[in-house]
Amino acid sequence: MQEQDNQRSSPYFHTDVSAPPQTTAGAIALPPRSSGMALTSMILGILALVVVLPSICLPPLAVLSFVLAIVGLVLGILALRAIARSNGESVGRGLAMTGIITSAIAEGVSLLLIVFIVTMAGSLVTAMRDMTTVASGRTLFSAFEQYSMDNVGSFPSVHTWRSDIEVPASISEQQLKSWVMNEHLQGMRFREIPDPAKTVLAFEVNINGYTAADASLAEMSWSPHYRYVVVFVNGQTREVSVDEVNELLWDPTASP
């Protein structure tokens, strides 16, 4: 025993330097590990940016980019919190910050594109609907005109006009129900209208159950955000706003 103590105190005595260092608790110290969430956040953020670029031509990519950006942003925030609470055992703050920044940019750009695409799609649908309605109005006027030629220039009855005129096949029954005849034309003839360019013949509304009406129904049914179609006695067909309703001529016999 004394000999072993002398060997340990000798300047030539040494231990194995290759042995791993130990902590005060006796455990082996491991190097900090990189955060998987931080790395994933960065990858998703960059991918979201790459995907959002061609989304103008391919609108579904904007939605995909938005989803990727949301996930990347959430993972980046969670990674930062986990790194801060790891007491140095986890690293990757730079990766997490990169993921958060790229995800935030991609999210903002993709959201703007989604709003733009939805707005444009709504405008396109409205424009196509208006074009169809205007075309239906012109076709409807031709049917009124043909009825007038077959009946000594008179208008059909405002109560039975839908069955009196010969409705073209291009106008469906549902479309026909959305049109209402000007009730003030009952018993009149085309040539008796003093100002056909301003006198309403029929108008399209979004209220079913009416065959004839006047401006009061138009004011009830016309939304301030939309424009509806009016057919005039001279055959002109155009869109009319709510502000123009009372400016139209409904009763041709009324004094100016």
DSSP 3-42: HHHHHHHSTT----TTSPPB-TTSPBPPPPEEPHHHHHHH
pLDDT tens per residue across span 40-77: 999 999 999 999 888 877 888 889 999 999 999 999 99
Domain that holds residue 99: 32-122
DSSP 8-class letter at 246: G
Grade residue 156 by pLDDT with cuts at 50, 70 and 90.
very high
Torsion of CA 154, 158, 164, 169, to 10 degrees: 110
> What pLDDT shows up at residue 10?
52
Question: Does residue 166 lie in a domain region?
Answer: yes
3-class SS of residue 57: coil
Q: How far apart are CA 113 and CA 54, in angstroms?
A: 11
pLDDT at 149 over 60: yes
Cβ atoms of 197 and 252 closer than 8 Å: no
> What pLDDT shows up at residue 90?
82
Q: How far apart are CA 144 and CA 229, in angstroms?
A: 16
Question: Does residue 220 lie in a domain region?
Answer: yes
| 213 exposure class (CB count in 10 Å sphere: 0-12, 13-18, 19+) | buried
Quote the number of domains for the chain.
2
Question: Does residue 3 lie in a domain region?
Answer: no
pLDDT tens per residue across span 217-245: 766 655 555 677 899 999 999 888 777 88
> What pLDDT shows up at residue 92?
87
- Looking at the fold, whether 99 and 159 belong to one and the same domain comes out as no
Q: How far apart are CA 54 and CA 30, in angstroms?
A: 45
Q: Which of 230, 234, 249 is nearest to 137 (CA)?
A: 230
Q: Which of 81, 101, 122 is the last residue of a domain?
A: 122
pLDDT at 85 over 80: yes
> What pLDDT shows up at residue 232?
94
Question: Does residue 1 lie in a domain region?
Answer: no
pTM over 0.85: no
> What pLDDT shows up at residue 22?
52
- Looking at the fold, whether 156 and 195 belong to one and the same domain comes out as yes
**Percent of the chain clearing pLDDT 90 (strictly above):** 39
- Looking at the fold, whether 156 and 96 belong to one and the same domain comes out as no
Q: Which of 144, 121, 112, 129 is nearest to 175 (CA)?
A: 129
Alpha-carbon separation of residue 170 from 48, 65, 137, 180, 201 (angstroms): 47, 43, 11, 18, 20
Grade residue 24 by pLDDT with cuts at 50, 70 and 90.
low
> What pLDDT shows up at residue 11?
53
Which residues are CB-contacts of 95 (< 8 A; sequence separation ≥ 6)?
Answer: 34, 35, 38, 39, 41, 42, 79
Q: Which of 122, 137, 167 is the last residue of a domain?
A: 122
Question: Does residue 4 lie in a domain region?
Answer: no
Question: Does residue 50 lie in a domain region?
Answer: yes
**Percent of the chain clearing pLDDT 70 (strictly above):** 82
- Which stretch of DSSP H or E encloses residue 181? strand 179-182
The tokens describing 192, both together, are: 């008796």
- Looking at the fold, whether 59 and 104 belong to one and the same domain comes out as yes
Question: Does residue 142 lie in a domain region?
Answer: no
Q: Which of 122, 138, 170 is the last residue of a domain?
A: 122
- Looking at the fold, whether 36 and 88 belong to one and the same domain comes out as yes
Q: What average pLDDT does range 154-166 have in this prediction?
A: 92
- Looking at the fold, whether 176 and 115 belong to one and the same domain comes out as no
Q: Which of 202, 166, 167 is nearest to 184 (CA)?
A: 202
pLDDT tens per residue across span 92-102: 899 999 999 99
Torsion of CA 81, 82, 84, 90, to 10 degrees: -150
Question: Does residue 169 lie in a domain region?
Answer: yes
> What pLDDT shows up at residue 255?
53
The tokens describing 163, both together, are: 């069955």
Mean pLDDT of the chain: 82
